[in-house]
Structure 1
Amino acid sequence: MNPHLLIPTDLARLHRFSFNLESVTRLEGVRNYTRFIKVAGQPIMTCRPLGTYLDRLPEQFIRVHKSHVVNCQYILSVDSDNHCILMTDGTSIPIARRKRTSILKLLTNPF
């Protein structure tokens, strides 16, 4: 099953995007905005905070930092020395200090 998410990008809900969540590598929270970074194409910026989407995401998405949610399918490796996750697109995502133990345990023993 390919989960889809319909998101309003503005407060008036005039502009909406629907896309396959399988193509989303990660979400970035930037103040009160959320950026959906996809495998291909331009990122989608919405005017909602990151926490708004957490309950609507499938279980393969995990919050690793207050500003970052990653799709586990696109994790290349975990650097436990530098406390970050290396994604398949080459970006390095920090792991929050308080979440390190539980995230490392979850990633070494996947679903």
Structure 2
Amino acid sequence: MENCIILRDCSGFIHLLPDEILRLEGDRNYTHVLLTDGRKLLFSKTIGYLLELMPEGTMLRISKSHAINPTYLQSIFLRRRQRYVYLTSGEKFEVSRRRAQVMRKQSKQQSRVTSKLD
């Protein structure tokens, strides 16, 4: 339970493991937390605030209003005007232009590290 994320809603505190969270969907000052078992929780906090509560690397911010759990990332498609991620749940989300640049840089760094290990 060391990686447990504790969030507070109107009924009290909710303890979640990072692998239970599929994605976050921001809606102004509210955030929907979608879980792998299909539940959808609503919190009166911004998506940025919730991301700060989570351990580093738990969630990947793909746009202003969406963050995904990289554990459930199936594939990434990054071209000029077409930037999408596909989750194992079958959902498809658009990646913002700025976030796509960051994702490209990270993938290049990872490919350099793996080529050095080979």
Q: What's the secondary structure of 1:7's corresponding residue?
A: strand
1:90 is aligned to 90
Deviation at 1:41, TM superposition (A): 3.3
Structure of higher CA gyration radius = 2
Deviation at 1:16, TM superposition (A): 2.2
- Aligned pair 1:47/2:44, yes or no? yes
Matches of 1:8 and 1:107 in 2, distance apart?
A: 35
Counterpart among 26, 30, 54 of residue 29 in structure 1: 26
**Aligned residue number for residue 73 of structure 1:** 71
Contact persistence 1:2–1:22 (CA under 8 A): no
Amino acid aligned to 1:62: L
Q: Secondary structure of 1:35's match? A: strand
Residues of 2 paired with 1:70 and 1:79: CA distance? 15
Q: Which runs of 5+ in 2 are unaligned?
A: 112-118
With normalisation by structure 2, the TM-score equals 0.79
Aligned CA RMSD, in angstroms, stands at 2.0
Q: So what's the TM-score if we normalise by structure 1?
A: 0.83
Aligned residue pairs, count: 107
Q: Which runs of 4+ in 1 moved over 2 A?
A: 104-110
Deviates more, 1:53-62 or 1:94-103: 53-62
